[in-house]
A and B are shown apart, each in its own frame.
Chain A
Amino acid sequence: NAGVTQTPKFRILKIGQSMTLQCTQDMNHNYMYWYRQDPGMGLKLIYYSVGAGITDKGEVPNGYNVSRSTTEDFPLRLELAAPSQTSVYFCASSSRRTTNEKLFFGSGTQLSVL
C-alpha cells in the first residue's frame, strides 16, 4: 500500500494563478483532510470530507475549494493564488472520525506564491 500520496511535492505560483493539489489514498478510508502548516503555527484544518460527495469547511477555508467524487481522491483547489497561501499543505486520511487520531499523512506539498 502506498498510503496517502500527494502531488506535486513543490510548486511556485504567481499571484492570481490557479492550481490543484492532488491527494489520493489507497486504504479505503472514508475521512480525508487538508491541513496547512505555517512556521511556528502548527497545522490548521482547511477542509475535510467524511465520504464521497460530502465536504465541509475547517478552520481556514477561505481561498480554497475541494471536491470528493471518489473515496480515493480529495483534491484541493486554489483559484486565485495569494502570497498568504504560501505554506506547506498536508493531506491526511482516517478510517473513522471518532478515531481520527489515527491520521495517516501524506508527505506534503510546499507551495510558494510570489
Chain B
Amino acid sequence: GQQLNQSPQSMFIQEGEDVSMNCTSSSIFNTWLWYKQDPGEGPVLLIALYKAGELTSNGRLTAQFGITRKDSFLNISASIPSDVGIYFCAGQIEGGKLIFGQGTELSVKP
C-alpha cells in the first residue's frame, strides 16, 4: 500500500534552534497535512497544504507542498520548550483517505 517516509525519527535540540523535518513518498498526494501530538493527547492539525509548490506559515511554523506532489517539509523557527511532541505528516489521496507518516519526536532542551 501507499506509505509515507518521515524523517528524522527523533530530534534533540536546544531552545532557540530551528528545526526541519520532511516526508517523502513514491505516491502522489492531493493534500499534505502536518499534525502535532502532545503527550497523552490526540493529534492536532497545524498546517494543511492543497497545491503543489504551496508554502504556508502558521506562526513560527512553515510547511511546503513539494512540486512533485510526493513530498512535504515542515520547519519550526526559534524553537521553544512547548514545541515538544510528535509531529506527523499525512497525505490525502482520492476518496479522502489519510495516510500518516511514522512521526518525528521532538525534544527541546531549555
A residues at B contact (CB < 8 Å): 4, 35, 40-45, 58-59, 90, 92, 97-103, 105-108
Assess whether B92 is in contact with A108, with CB atoms less than 8 Å apart.
no
Quick check: which of B14-22, B54-62, B63-71, B93-101 contacts chain A, the rest being far away?
B93-101
**Closest 4 A/B residue pairs (Cβ):** A105-B42, A42-B100, A97-B96, A43-B100
User: A40 with B1: in contact, given A101-B31, A101-B92 (CB under 8 Å)?
Assistant: no
* List of A residues within 8 angstroms of B97 by Cβ: 45, 58
- The listed residue (A40, A98, A105) touching B96 by CB distance below 8 A is A98
Assess whether B102 is in contact with A108, with CB atoms less than 8 Å apart.
no
In this complex, the interface size class of chain B, counting residues with CB under 8 Å from chain A, is: 20 to 34
Assess whether B102 is in contact with A41, with CB atoms less than 8 Å apart.
yes
In B45-90, which residues have CB < 8 Å from any A CB?
45, 48, 88, 90
Tell me the minimal C-beta distance from A55 to chain B in angstroms.
Answer: 15
Assess whether A108 is in contact with B41, with CB atoms less than 8 Å apart.
yes
* List of A residues within 8 angstroms of B40 by Cβ: 107-108
Assess whether B98 is in contact with A103, with CB atoms less than 8 Å apart.
yes
User: A42 with B43: in contact, given A97-B95, A97-B96, A100-B98 (CB under 8 Å)?
Assistant: no
- Cα A101 to Cα B96 in complex, Å, equals 8
Assess whether B95 is in contact with A103, with CB atoms less than 8 Å apart.
no
* List of A residues within 8 angstroms of B96 by Cβ: 97-100
23 CB contacts below 8 A, A to B, read A4-B42, A40-B102, A42-B4, A42-B6, A42-B102, A43-B43, A43-B100, A44-B100, A45-B98, A58-B97, A59-B1, A92-B42, A97-B95, A99-B96, A101-B31, A101-B33, A101-B48, A101-B92, A102-B48, A105-B41, A105-B43, A105-B44, A108-B40
